Structure 1
Amino acid sequence: MKDVTVASHGLTAAADATGKPGAAMRPIIQVVAGNALEIYDFMIYGYYARYIAQTYFPSDSEYVSLMMSLMTFAFGFLARPIGAIVLGAYTDRHGRRNGLILALSLMSLGIISVACTPSYRSIGLAAPVIVLLGRLLQGFSAGAELGGVVVYLAEIAPPKRRAFFTCWQAGSQQLSVMAASLVGLVLLYLLAPHELHAWGWRIPLLLGCAVIPVMFWLRSSLAETSVFAAKKKTPTVGDICTSLVSGWRTIALCMGMVALATVTSQTITTYAPTFIKSLNLGESAGFIILFFGGLSVLICLPIMAVVADRFNRRTVLIVVTLLAGLSAYPMMSWLAAQPTVFKFAVVELWFSFIYAAYSSVQVAAMVELVPPSARTSGYAFAQAVAAAVLGGFTPAILTWLTHTFHSNAMVGVWLAVNAAISLIAALALGQKETATRQSAQLQ
């Protein structure tokens, strides 16, 4: 992954993305469906972290129990970099389609293990161990799943619509947020608190298990990208690892670009139910706000992606990171001073917009930095490391910050820190270089 030249980093558009809306949307739906299931499960785990904590990590202290549950969630993210290298290398050698199917298979095992494991009271220490292994397996698969989806979408996209195509990876996540919120709201009204605590939280996970066959059916007919099919030589695992090491500057730059997206996403989705509880605003209001937050991101993403395809990536990234960094602490302080449902909705919708505006540009800019020989492993590794170090630990970090400093406004400090990291990465991008790559073909 040597310093990039346009010739070595161009992406050719696939034959199946010639501009016909129907032809373009079919592979997009096929490839993002599995990603939606992956994120749905992560959302459910975050939404019901308090119930999962008492089921698998019982303790006299609710705070300790919750932290153990959230740390288990975070450990799943630690497996992502390993999955990015192992499964990413498999995808770069054996094809985008084969890699996506393998990732879906491992992800399915992870979801089933968490949904069906008996409680600590039933099987003792084996329960948290199985849950931890399930999260690690799912994190391992997610390490390549997210990168594989983005790379596939980028390689079937026409050069001047790359941000629009790749934005649907994040768009599928919002469908997951909305689905998880609706299921949570329905269960809140149908089940008594003790029923939800005892077994009701498993229902959303079991619903996710039920649609796994549909996901396999969708991906089984997925066509290979023309970019991979045109390769005359596939790299060895050694070649890919060498490329990752030699391209450490590109990897570091991509990791910095991921910071704001992954932390903002985890804050407004996974951590939100815990945040709502600490603000004493009520679970039902939280699920409703989360649904509309996901809907607002789903609407904003394609709009901002069109903007990203018309303007220089670097400029948009700088503007959005500045907005995020300057607004994070003041808005969280405003919310924490006198929490209301209205204030929470304003904050949630604002950072939903920040996430949509940023990720629609960031994803396309990242994939344009990585050369085709190690595109899946390179993109996935940068994404996975940043998600593991920053995003995965965000719910635990925010819980610790608010508990230690006795202030919910500390959520804004963590957001501002990561906005600063992404701002530095955006400033490090060469303006002329990003403009040239934006219109180049990926080959």
Structure 2
Amino acid sequence: MVSGNFLEMFDFTVYAYYATAIAHTFFPADNEFISLLLALSVFGAGFLMRPIGALVLGAYIDRHGRRKGLILSLSLMAAGTACVAFVPGYATIGVIAPVIVLIGRLLQGFSAGVELGGVSVYLSEIATPGKRGFFCSWQSGSQQVAVIFAASLGVLLNQLLPASELSAWGWRVPFLIGCLIVPFLLLIRRTLRETDEFAARKRHPGFGEIMKSMIDNAGLIVAGMGLVVMTTVSFYLITTYTPTFGKTVLHLSAVDSLIVTVCVGVSNFFWLPVSGAVSDRVGRRPILLLFTVLTMLTSYPAMQWLVSAPSFERLLLVELWFSLLYAWYNGAMVVSLTELMPAHVRTTGFSMAYSLATLVGGFTPAVSTSLIHFTGDKAAPGAWMGLAGLCGAVATLILYRSQQARNGYKLA
């Protein structure tokens, strides 16, 4: 079920891990900052396609079924991965190379626009009574497996290949592995059955009806976007940006940064289902508010402590603290968002809110790099995470004014 989430996050994570090598291969420039920023901007460009994918593919899923839509989204994602894995570098085919990479990232973003929403809705609809939070938490859990696998593969490649070969061609190996596992993932997804809730519905809305519902529920979607911003910013900060931050800002070894990322993935994987299960018992709102407030109060001071005396140990401690903040918040947030959306357009509504939030969070590596460059403050990414925490807190307060979601679920 969550195989597409694995591939999505594996590809996004690998791109960010090897952003420096990708910058040299596809975006060479006299200024190293400009080269890296171009590579990270293309990474973020994939998120620009997510709202479109959320509308088009989300409407397809709400109309034709969860199973068919999830197979389609995985196929499109695989095509985007191949674009990045096989295209020759700028030195070989010139400007066509970065254009193809951009197309690949846009295609991945289009498919990813509905992947997470489709999986989350599927899990919420097959969950046993009283365990919806626990079930939905495994959507994010699958992403952590991808983070662990990608970072572990990075550690192995750094041990096996000299830096020159890793920069020249070794960075392509993870993308090739991603392509090789696609047939297996498609086979798994084809075995899915349709959810009983969707199958029992006598009538499914057409595209026009879904678009009208999106307009009618625009306020709900924007508030949902605010809820997700905390998740996207914190996740991309502690996973995809960590290797780049550790290497280029803290001047730690690539292996040290990747080991920290593996530990973050393990920590996330542990805390996410714990949070989902606890939210089933105590409610979503208390968890969301507690961890957004902790994020606002601690993220910048923690980052200041790290950059004042950079070390592997300090990076590990700070990232594990950020992991706890992210995972506890996200474990309650995902199920909340599925409960907030009207049932007949649940996939589209969830996907739109999430996709709009990734327009902010997805650019976290580029924003963090720019903030450090222009302010001279190496702790600036902590302030960016604190601002995301504020967004999450405000959205939680707005959304939980009403004690009843529009789809009939009781909001806790």
TM-score bracket, shorter-length normalisation: over 0.9
- Is 1:317 aligned to residue 288 of structure 2? yes
- Find the residue that maps to 2:130 and give its secondary structure: helix
Residue 432 of structure 1 and its aligned partner are, at CA, apart by 6.3
Aligned to 2:299: 328
- C-alpha separation in 1, matches of 2:269 and 2:89: 36
Query: Which of 386, 407, 410 matches 2:357?
Result: 386
- Find the residue that maps to 1:433 and give its secondary structure: coil
- Find the residue that maps to 2:33 and give its secondary structure: helix
Retained in 1: the 8 A contact 2:300–2:386?
yes
Residue 436 of structure 1 and its aligned partner are, at CA, apart by 11
- C-alpha separation in 2, matches of 1:223 and 1:436: 27
Aligned to 2:193: 223
Output aligned runs, 1:59-74, within 5 Å.
Answer: 59-74=29-44
Retained in 2: the 8 A contact 1:313–1:435?
no
Aligned to 2:398: 428
Aligned to 2:85: 115
Retained in 2: the 8 A contact 1:256–1:386?
yes
- Is 1:192 aligned to residue 162 of structure 2? yes
Retained in 2: the 8 A contact 1:113–1:134?
yes
- Find the residue that maps to 2:131 and give its secondary structure: helix
Aligned to 1:308: 279
Query: Which of 369, 374, 379 matches 2:345?
Result: 374
What code does the residue aligned with 1:46 have?
A: A
What code does the residue aligned with 1:259 have?
A: V
- C-alpha separation in 1, matches of 2:20 and 2:394: 36
- Is 1:124 aligned to residue 94 of structure 2? yes
Query: Which of 43, 52, 55 matches 1:85?
Result: 55
Residue 439 of structure 1 and its aligned partner are, at CA, apart by 6.3
Query: Which of 171, 175, 184 matches 2:141?
Result: 171
- C-alpha separation in 1, matches of 2:223 and 2:405: 17
Retained in 2: the 8 A contact 1:76–1:135?
yes
**Cα distance change on mapping 1:135 and 1:436 into 2, 3 Å:** closer
- C-alpha separation in 2, matches of 1:432 and 1:102: 36
Residue 149 of structure 1 and its aligned partner are, at CA, apart by 0.6
Deviations 1:161-190 (A, max 9, x none): 011000011100100010001100000010
Retained in 1: the 8 A contact 2:57–2:114?
yes
Retained in 2: the 8 A contact 1:80–1:385?
yes
Residue 249 of structure 1 and its aligned partner are, at CA, apart by 1.5
What code does the residue aligned with 2:297 have?
A: L
Aligned to 1:265: 235
Aligned to 1:238: 208
- C-alpha separation in 2, matches of 1:344 and 1:213: 37
- C-alpha separation in 2, matches of 1:219 and 1:316: 32
Retained in 2: the 8 A contact 1:285–1:341?
yes
What code does the residue aligned with 1:283 have?
A: A
Per the normalisation by structure 2, the TM-score is 0.97
Residue 373 of structure 1 and its aligned partner are, at CA, apart by 1.1
What code does the residue aligned with 1:367 have?
A: T
What code does the residue aligned with 2:315 have?
A: F
- Is 1:103 aligned to residue 77 of structure 2? no
Aligned to 2:174: 204
- State, as a whole percentage, how many aligned pairs show the same letter: 47
**Cα distance change on mapping 1:437 and 1:352 into 2, 3 Å:** farther
Retained in 2: the 8 A contact 1:240–1:374?
yes
Query: Which of 131, 149, 163 matches 1:161?
Result: 131
What code does the residue aligned with 2:323 have?
A: S
Query: Which of 249, 257, 272 matches 1:286?
Result: 257
Structural RMSD (CA): 1.4
**Cα distance change on mapping 1:370 and 1:104 into 2, 3 Å:** same
Deviations 1:216-247 (A, max 9, x none): 10001100001110111110111001001000
Aligned to 2:325: 354
- Find the residue that maps to 1:211 and give its secondary structure: helix
Retained in 2: the 8 A contact 1:297–1:353?
yes
- C-alpha separation in 1, matches of 2:99 and 2:401: 48
Deviations 1:174-207 (A, max 9, x none): 0001000110000001001110011000001101
What code does the residue aligned with 1:386 have?
A: A
Aligned to 2:116: 146
Deviations 1:313-340 (A, max 9, x none): 1121111100111001110111111111
Per the normalisation by structure 1, the TM-score is 0.91
- Find the residue that maps to 1:353 and give its secondary structure: helix
Q: Could you list the runs of 5+ residues in structure 2 that have no partner in the other structure?
A: none
- C-alpha separation in 2, matches of 1:43 and 1:436: 35
Query: Which of 291, 299, 315 matches 1:344?
Result: 315
Residue 273 of structure 1 and its aligned partner are, at CA, apart by 1.1
Residue 159 of structure 1 and its aligned partner are, at CA, apart by 3.5
Residue 429 of structure 1 and its aligned partner are, at CA, apart by 2.6
Q: Could you list the runs of 5+ residues in structure 1 that have no partner in the other structure?
A: 1-30
Runs of 4+ in 1 over 6 A off after TM superposition: 435-439
Aligned to 2:27: 57
Question: How many residues get paired?
Answer: 410
Query: Which of 343, 360, 376 matches 1:406?
Result: 376
What code does the residue aligned with 1:377 have?
A: T
